[in-house]
Structures are given as structure tokens and as C-alpha cells.
Structure 1
Amino acid sequence: MIQAVQGFLEAHSAIIGLLILAAMFVEFLRERFPVPVVALLGTCAFLVTGLLDSPGFFGTFSNSAPIAVGAMLILSGALMRTGAIEAIINVIVARAERHPRLAVVEVFAGLLLASPFLNNTPVVVIMIPIMFRLAQATGIPAKRLLMPMSILAVLGGCLSLIGTSTNLIVDGIARKEGMAPFGIFEITPYGLAGVAAGIVTLLLLIRLLPSDPVSTETASAGADYLTELTPRADSQQIDRPLTSLPVFKGGVKLLGLRRGAETVRTGLEERRLRRGDRLVVRASAVELMTLRTSRDFEIGLGGPTSPSADVGAAVETMISPSHPSIGRRLGDIPFLSRVGVRVLGVSRHNHLPGPDLGNARIRAADRLLVTGEPRQIQQLRENRNLLGVDLTLTRPFRRAKAPVAIGALAATVAVAAFDLVPISIAAVVAIGVILATRCIDAEEAWSSIDGNVLILIIAMLAVGTGLEQAGSVALMVSWFTPLLGHASPTLLVFLIYFVTLLLSELLSNNAVAAIVTPVVIQLAIDLGIDPRPLIIAVMIGASACFATPIGYQTNALVYTAGEYRFADFVRIGVPTNIIVGVAVCLSIVALG
């Protein structure tokens, strides 16, 4: 019986492989399970049926694509941890306040410059809050910024080999098939054609995007904290102009100056810092945690027995609706004097409390960031009028390490661009550097890796190997070769690009790339033509898909954040797909 089953599997292995693939596609479309789970189950099916042997399966772990993708995600995480990304945000917001329309152009130009060097998925994650801040500063509806941002990030990722995980997957498969590796900027000329076509299309269609507000815009408005900075006695900043203080070069915004009984909110650029001054400022949670380590300023509000801001642990808590001190000044709350903790800042949904930290009257659901000794924190936890007292997950920036993180990324790109070492090797060495120099802690580095992405890549590489071992790839090639044997090179490029694009709109683009690439390579070999231009068509066609929210990871991100409808993507995405695709294919034909 067992021998009969084995004989049947061997005799019909190619068809069985295609049936497994078809079942995976159906499950991708039905979305009963996450895409990585379906890919893993497909791998299991190939293993159980014996269509994929052990050496073939374990050989997928030697592919450089998952390593390169994971490493680039860690490097992106280091840029965030060191505040390099936040510094860019602050510059953008400052520019938007002075030159709103020009700032929008500059942001999108910066996005196109960043996307080729950073995986575009974390870039979009970083850019979504920037877009909301930019929308508030310029008055442009967020929905008219988010979708164009995603489209340009994807097109920017098509400018280099490391811009998208899809490019790395295709390159890894091509190397496995014995082809020469792609250079980091080999696809740039074709990507530029797509970028130019995409920009023109967006300019023509931008008014078709909805302009209704997004709830996230108002929800994000209350994320900052109100706090106060008091110069220490030995501060090196005494007598310096307020607006030139280094503390305000980040995301900390000066709101006012308390000098004695006087509060000043205008003409601050003319004032100098004096001993005893209290600077009323606005800061994000991460900036607030960074200020804790300042040698020049004491931060927050404390009682006679309160510790310094950098002493003890920092916890977050919320004011309960039953708190007896609701409506009273924050400076009069009993736990400041009784417990002896220090309030680093207060945050309120939708707007900032005020006029300053001590005089802010507390309301239910106000969030406090508090620091104190372990015994004092335990007393806060026992206070029934405070909700959710727990250690804050927010960590301070490590700005002193930002040059190291930037240098590590730049060096990775440079050595890969000049083909000195493979991108995966360069990125792993860069990770060693940022960990050794403490740009990012180990647990933070590992949490920067998207496990779903890596599982999907490895599983689909295994599925691709299984299709080859089962003879399914050869069978598909035998079907297509007679149909395409008489097609001109131009028609061949167009067909492969748009077939890849269509599949990617419905399925995972990484999965499509992993399946289509070996088929295209074998097809080119059988037709006696250079497979390289066709592989470039697969690379860009698998990424540059904008007509559905599931077409690409960044589409899904902005679909949720921007509260778009499915029809919004179709309205903008279909013409963008066509125009970009035609431009890319013509450039491949002309230059390839």
C-alpha cells in the first residue's frame, strides 16, 4: 500500500505540486489564515508528500534573502532608537510651519531618497505619524498624503536591490539558479522610469482621493506631555539665549518661561536662561525619557522629598474618574508630598493641559509619567485612585550613538554598491557594530525583526524548491514555451510584468516573486534569451502594485491608518499600475 502511494506520488509529482500551489492560492484569497501560516502549511504539504526532500528544505536556510531582510530591519530599528528618524521628523515639522507646500515636496523627495536604502515597510511605518503631523501643519487632508506616500515608498524601493524584501528574494533565487548576483543599483534606471511615471500619475489623480478627516488625526493630538525644565546650579546653559539651547534642537518645544511670579509666552527668542527659571515645554514620551538624563536641567514637578528625575524607575499611570483631587492643581496632589515621587509630565487626550505643570488642573483619564524609588512606586500601585501603574515601555533616545547607526547603514550600502561583499554579510557586520557600540540593545534589535516576513520568505523559498524538485516548474515552462516561443522580446517583457503584477495584487508579493522567478528563468533558458531583463520585470512587477490594500504591505498599513475604502485604492491604483508598468517595461526593452 505504501509502495503504491509512493509510486503514485512519484508518477504524478508535477501535477500534485501544482495542486498544492493552487490550494495555497485559494487560501491566500480566502484569508482564513494569515499569509505566513498558509505558506508554512504549503511547505508542510511538500514535505509530507515527499515532493521536497530534507536537503532541499534545509537548503532554503542558506539563502541570503531572509538574512538580508532581517538585518536591514534591525538597522532601521537602530536609526529609530538613536533618534535619527525623530530628528528628521522635527526638521520636517519645523519646515512645514514656515513653508507648508514646499515641505510636502521635500518630504516626498526625502522619502524617495530613503526608500532605496531602507526596507520600505519600516519606512512607511515611520512615515505614517509624520504624514499626520504634516497634514496638521499644512491643512492638507491626511488621506491625500498617506496613499501617495505608500506609492512613492514602493516605487522608491524599486530603485535598489535592498529597497524591498521582494528584490532580495528574487536575487537570492537567481543566485541559487547559477546567475550572477544583481548589483545594488542595477535596477535603478528601470525604477527611475517607474518613479517618474508614478509622480505624473499622482499629480493628475490626487484630487480623486477623499478629503474627509481621519479619526487617527485627532487621536494622535494628545500624545505629547506637558513638563517643566529647571536649570541645575552647575548648568552650562545659564545665560544662553533660550531658543539656542541644545535641548530644543530635538522634538522638545518651548511654550513659555516662568520667572518668579511672571509667566512669559512671547518674545522668548530675546530672553536668556537664568538660575531659578522654569521652562514650560511640550515633549513626546520618548523625548521626556531622554530629558531624564540631562545634566543641565531638572525635569518635572516634585515635593520636598521627591527624588531627582533620573533616580529610580519611571512608571505610567492614569487618573481614575473617582480620584478625589480631580479639578485641583497638579502641584496640590497629595502623593507628591506624602509619597515623595516626581511627576515628569502630564498628557491629556486631544489637547495639552496647562498653563504650566504645577497649575494644570487634573481630569479623569489624564496620563502621568512618574519616577520614584521602588518603595514609592509600590505605594502608587496600592493607590486605588490611580489606574494601570506600570513601568513605562518608552525608552530614551541614544542620540550620541546616532552617527554610529547612520555610519553603519551607509557603510553597508557602500560596500554592497561596490560589490565588495554581499549585502547580507555587510548588514550582519553592521549589526555587530551597532550592538557592540550600544546603539540598540539586543532585545530591541530582535524585536525590530518582523517574524511574519521572515517565515513567509523562508516558507515560500521552500515551496519554490519543492516545485522544482517535483517537476512542476518544468511542467509550467513546457506549457508556456510554445505560447511564448514566437513572442517578441518586447511582448515577453510586458506579459511577464503584468502577469506578475496581477498575481501580486491578489496574493503576497513575496510569495508570487518566489514562485514566478524560477519559472521565468527556466523559460528564458528554453527560449535561448537572456533572463536578466525578465527577472527585473518580475522584481518591479511584484512590488509596484497599488490597486488593492492587500497588494503590498505598505498598502495595508495606510489602508488601516487612513481609513480608506477599497474603492479608493482601485480608483487611484489601477491607472497608476498601468502607467507605471508601461513606463518600466519600455525602459527594460530600451535599456535591457
Structure 2
Amino acid sequence: MMPAEIVLNTHAIAVLLLTALALFLFTRDWLPLESSSLFVLAALATGFQLFPYTSDGKTIHAVDFFSGFGHEALIAVTALMIIGHALARTGALEPVGRALARLWQVSPKLSFLLTLIVGAALSAFVNNVPIVILLLPILISVSLQTKTSASGILMPMGFATLIGGMGTTIGTSTNLLVVSVAVSMGMAPFSMFEFIGPVALSSLLAIIYLWLVAPRILPERASELGDASPRIFSAALHINEDGFSDGKTVEEVMAQTDQRVSIKYVKRAGSDALTVASRQLTLKPGDQLLVSDTPENLKAYEKLLDADLYNSETKIDEDHPLQAEGQQLAEIIIAQGSPLLNTSVSKTRFADRYQLVVLALHRAGPQSRQTVADIDNTPLQLGDVLLVQGASETIAELKQQGKILVLDATSHIPHTEKAPLALMIMIAVVAISALGLLPIAISALCGVLLLALTNCLSWKDMAEAVNAQIILIVAASLALGFAMLETGAADAMAAGFVYLTADLSVTMQLSGLMLLMAIMTNIVSNNAAAVIGTPIAIGIANQLGMPVEPFVLAVLLGANMSYATPMAYKTNLLVMTVGGYSFNDFLKVGIPLTIIMWLSLSFLIPVFYPVG
């Protein structure tokens, strides 16, 4: 039986149902996060326009739900994304990378610890995506030099950057959103280093775990990372007229490779349909054999079968040669800010633009058959890896441009004459906000303007840095939080939480709220969990007659514990792709890390913020 003070009106019930639906849609792979976020905004605006809601003489207008697009937290998040992109593009952090690389040659064990600490410290002020991209080539190079697997160090490094981002109000977009929403509800603003104390102490335990324990429980990936990468790519071998495979059966083709090639499906010439690769199926020109293997084996099959490992429609001529001397294979990862993200090879006119030909695609997790059959027109996702071929000079130039992350041991981070200026702008933005001279939204916006005026970044580069997915999920989450607050749904959920945990101490209630957010953030968007959880946390504190700060912190810190699943945070996907990790690897390392952070912070928050 629910307590009598919980009263839900029709609008509150509708908002709660929409919230549940939104959290479900945010976890669906078949629906882009941008689409589900836009659905939430459209549903809220349309619903409240058709069925107006008035309480205490105040009416919620449908257009109020669009205010999230102008919210100061979203402005700050977007501006900081651009500044972080500028640091990566100009190579402002390259000296840090060089110093770490040199230290690895002296003492790998201590250097690994220092890498974790540096990654965490930098992420307290800079979006962790450029930090991870900075450290990935270094750690891959170390694994090659020491002839050890990189799988023991890449995931701990990625988690260290997530932990570091928890320490300041600007460390992650989640922190900015929670603090902004809480302040709009009457809480006194947090200073930039307000909660650095409890986070630093819990992070110390977490870093020790990542340094000494995590590498031991991660399964070792036997193959080395390098030119002959162990990553399995999906590709299509195109049958040439009068080539070896023309007129041969699938069985004869397999015999030519000593049964090494595994042909899953055949896409017949002139048809979009896929046929199961029966051994007696006779092949003809224009057919495509859908295969999956390492880059080395794929190139071997191309030669043995006299087939083309690229789309036959790709223009191969003097401007786009594949026979010139110095040909190399390279792996390009689709990272945040990449001009290839959310578009396709054909739409970007990849061969014309980069003078490289796409041979195959690697995607973490299961792939659809159609993705393999039509790589050129497949929208590229975060963490995808393209296998490309071209002249070594072209690949080297692509690395130096810094717009696209090339995965190999010789990857160099660009360092331009604008690097010191970009770094000074970032330091100024942080310092001005930390000293309380300007809010972070304003100081970051001024920083972006300075980047543009000093030509550290072009406006095109800035457009690539802005993530439409982040913008929409933040705007939708803010709209949901606003609706829950105004209709009383947040107060009702807070009352329900207090009722269910009435027999627990306030410290245990605080801990339970943080654990709920930690579980939620690994299933749905961390920003959605945080913005929806913040008004509920304040409602809980008000009903208990307690200060709101510790409960807001429980939401903020719990929503940052994105360790247990690869889809919980975008850098998890990058690390998963490069390290070759499985979903279970994240569970194996991420769940203990979550428990460490949860238990330590459950003890520390009441120490720093007494709750009676």
C-alpha cells in the first residue's frame, strides 16, 4: 500500500509512462538515440499542447519543453566539446604523450600507474574522448615493443578517464547537467572543486584496482596489434570476369584456399538478395562472396581467387591506384568528432577525398548480413574500424592531419604551432570558471570564440566536434526532467522511494539512490539517468528534511559509473574495438569497479556532507 501523500494526476502518470518508454527506447540498437530523443521532445510538446496542464495558476506551455536547447548546461557541454576537439586537433597534449611513451621504456609497471593517474587528472578538465585517443596509440605501441597483449592495459586506461571526469563540475556533461538542474531548483551552486575530496579518495582505491587487479582478471588476447591486426573484418570479394573464380563452384573456390576461407553468403550479380553459400553454387562475374577474416588473410584470398577486395564501382585509375609501390593496409577507427561518423563511405566520396580504398569493415558485436554486403552504404557508427589500402605517403599524411584516427603502432599525434595557444585557452577557460569570475557556460563560449579568432579551429572543424546525439539526448532529458518536476511526478517518485526505504538509515537511503543511478547509467544514457534522477533526489531530500547536496551528489556520481557495459559510454566502445574485448570482459572488470566506487562513496559522502 502506497502512502497517502503520493498523489498522481493524469499528466504526471502520462509523464512517468513516457519516461519509462524513453528509457526503454534509449537502449534499443535498432533506433538511433537521436531519433528516440526527438520522439520524446515531440511527444511532450504535442501532448501538453493538446492537453494543457495548469497547477496553482501556472500553465505549462508546449514550447517550454524546447528550452533545453538554450539551457546553459547544454551550451557549456557543446563549447567544452569543441575546446577538447581543439586540443586533439592541434596536438596540445602531445608533449604529455611523448613523456609517457619515454617513461614506459624505463619502468612499464610504474609507467602504467602514471598513465592511469595522468589520464584521470586530464579528464577532470577535458572531455575524456581526446584523452583516450591520445593514449591509445601510446599503449598499443608499448604492447608491440614489449611483445605483450594490449588488452590488459587499454580497458583500465579507459576506466581511469571516466573516474577522473567525476572530480569536477566540468569533468563530464553529466556533472554539468546535474549541477545546472539542481541550481535551477534552488540548490546553491557547487564550486568547480566542490566534491573533489570524496572523489579523489575513492578514485585512489579505484586506480589501485585498475593498476594491480584489472590486468590480471582480463583475458589475454594472444595476437599482437600491428600491421597484421588480429581484428576480424567483414568484406566482400568481387568475382572478376575470366578470373580464377569465374565459373567455379563455391567448393572449388574453398579448395583453392586450402579450405581456409569461410564463405557465409553470396550476393548474386544484379540482385540485392543474399544466397546461402551452397558448396555446389556456381559463381559468375559480378557475384560477391561475403567473408570474414583478418586483413592478412583477406588479402591472401584476393590474390588466390583473383577477386577484388573492394567495390567494383570504385574508380581505380592513375589518381586512385592500388598497384603503385609502397602500398599499405591501415585501420581507421570511427571516433567521436570523426568526419566519417554517422555517414557512409559512398556519401563522403571516400576514395576521391582521401585517395584510399575501403576494403572491409570491423564492427563490435553482431553485424547484419546486409551491412557486410553493402559496406559502402552502411552508416558508420562510433567504434567501427575500416580496413583501407593506399600509398604509404597518403596514409602518413592522413595521420598527420589529425582528423581521422589511424590505428597502428606508428601513429603520430599532430603537433602544430597553434598547440600552445589552444592549451592556454583551455587553461584560461577553466581558471576563470574556477575562480568564480564567469560561469563555465560563458567562459567556455568565450574560449570557442578565441579558438575561431586565432584560427586554432575552423568553423568546419567545430561543426565536426559538435555531437548531434549529445545535443538531442540532453535536450530531451531536460524536457523530461522539467515535465516530471512541474507535474509532481518527481515528488511522487521521491515519496515512493522514501516509503520503500523507510526502515533504512539516511546513509543507506543515500547509498541506495547512488546504486540505482549506477545500474541505470549502464543500461540507458548517463545524461538521461542524471537529469531524471536529479529532481527525484531533491524531492527525497526535502521529504526527509535533509540537505539536498549529498543526494544530488549521489545522483551525479552514480550516473558517472559507466563501467559495466560497453555501450554505457562512448569511450568504452572505442576501447572495446581496439582491445578486442567482449561484453563479458566489461562485466568482469566493470562490476567490481562499480562496487568499489559505490561502497567507498557511500561512506565518504556522509563524511563530507553529514546527513545525520
What TM-score do you get using the length of structure 1 for normalisation?
A: 0.68
Per the alignment, residue 456 of structure 1 pairs with 473
Change (3 A) 1:27 1:366: closer
Contact 2:46 2:62 in 1 (8 A): no
> Using the alignment, how far apart are the partners of 1:553 and 1:478 within structure 2?
34
Q: Is residue 30 of structure 1 aligned with residue 32 of structure 2?
A: no
Deviation at 1:496, TM superposition (A): 0.8
Residue by residue over 1:459-503, the C-alpha shift from the partner in whole angstroms, topping out at 9 and shown as x without a partner, is 111121122233321221232233345532211211111011111
Contact 2:320 2:356 in 1 (8 A): no
Change (3 A) 1:217 1:38: farther
Deviation at 1:432, TM superposition (A): 1.3
Provide structure 1 residue ranges, at least 5 long, that are not aligned to the other structure. 1-9, 222-315, 328-344, 350-363, 371-388
Per the alignment, residue 114 of structure 2 pairs with 106
Per the alignment, residue 395 of structure 1 pairs with 401
> Using the alignment, how far apart are the partners of 1:54 and 1:436 within structure 2?
38
Alignment-mate amino acid for residue 154 of structure 1: L
Deviation at 1:137, TM superposition (A): 3.0
Deviation at 1:510, TM superposition (A): 0.8
Return the match for 1:176 from 184, 206, 212: 184
Deviation at 1:548, TM superposition (A): 1.4
Per the alignment, residue 66 of structure 1 pairs with 74
Q: Is residue 211 of structure 1 aligned with residue 220 of structure 2?
A: yes
Per the alignment, residue 549 of structure 2 pairs with 532
> Using the alignment, how far apart are the partners of 2:158 and 2:26 within structure 1?
22
Contact 2:178 2:556 in 1 (8 A): yes
Q: How does 1:424-573 map to 2 (within 5 A)?
A: 424-485=441-502, 487-573=504-590
Change (3 A) 1:220 1:68: farther
Provide structure 2 residue ranges, at least 5 long, that are not aligned to the other structure. 1-7, 54-59, 231-317, 328-354, 360-387, 403-413
Per the alignment, residue 322 of structure 2 pairs with 320
Q: How does 1:183-332 map to 2 (within 5 A)?
A: 183-202=191-210, 203-213=212-222, 217-218=226-227, 319-321=321-323
Deviation at 1:158, TM superposition (A): 0.8
More helix by share: 1
> Using the alignment, how far apart are the partners of 2:501 and 2:515 within structure 1?
15
Contact 2:477 2:532 in 1 (8 A): yes
Change (3 A) 1:564 1:346: closer
What TM-score do you get using the length of structure 2 for normalisation?
A: 0.66
Residue by residue over 1:394-424, the C-alpha shift from the partner in whole angstroms, topping out at 9 and shown as x without a partner, is 6385622222111111111111112121111
Q: Aligned-pair RMSD on alpha carbons?
A: 3.1
Q: Is residue 152 of structure 1 aligned with residue 176 of structure 2?
A: no
Deviation at 1:55, TM superposition (A): 4.4
Per the alignment, residue 304 of structure 1 pairs with none
Change (3 A) 1:367 1:14: same
> Using the alignment, how far apart are the partners of 2:30 and 2:559 within structure 1?
23
Contact 2:147 2:224 in 1 (8 A): no
Alignment-mate amino acid for residue 16 of structure 2: L
Per the alignment, residue 14 of structure 1 pairs with 12
Per the alignment, residue 391 of structure 2 pairs with 367
Contact 2:66 2:475 in 1 (8 A): no
Number of aligned residues: 437
> Using the alignment, how far apart are the partners of 1:185 and 1:566 within structure 2?
34
Alignment-mate amino acid for residue 44 of structure 1: A
Deviation at 1:563, TM superposition (A): 1.6
> Using the alignment, how far apart are the partners of 2:112 and 2:556 within structure 1?
29
Change (3 A) 1:124 1:393: closer
Determine helix, strand or coil for the equivalent of 1:210.
coil
Contact 1:82 1:399 in 2 (8 A): yes
Deviation at 1:56, TM superposition (A): 2.1
Identity %: 30
Deviates more, 1:105-114 or 1:54-63: 54-63
Change (3 A) 1:507 1:346: closer
Contact 1:143 1:214 in 2 (8 A): no
Contact 1:96 1:137 in 2 (8 A): no
Deviation at 1:83, TM superposition (A): 2.0
> Using the alignment, how far apart are the partners of 2:66 and 2:587 within structure 1?
40
Alignment-mate amino acid for residue 68 of structure 1: A
Deviation at 1:117, TM superposition (A): 0.7
Contact 1:29 1:506 in 2 (8 A): yes
Residue by residue over 1:72-118, the C-alpha shift from the partner in whole angstroms, topping out at 9 and shown as x without a partner, is 11111211222223333333333333443343233222112201010
Larger radius of gyration: 1
Change (3 A) 1:137 1:106: farther
Contact 2:126 2:171 in 1 (8 A): yes
Deviation at 1:580, TM superposition (A): 1.5
Q: Is residue 75 of structure 1 aligned with residue 79 of structure 2?
A: no
Deviation at 1:556, TM superposition (A): 2.3
Per the alignment, residue 575 of structure 1 pairs with 592
> Using the alignment, how far apart are the partners of 1:100 and 1:366 within structure 2?
34
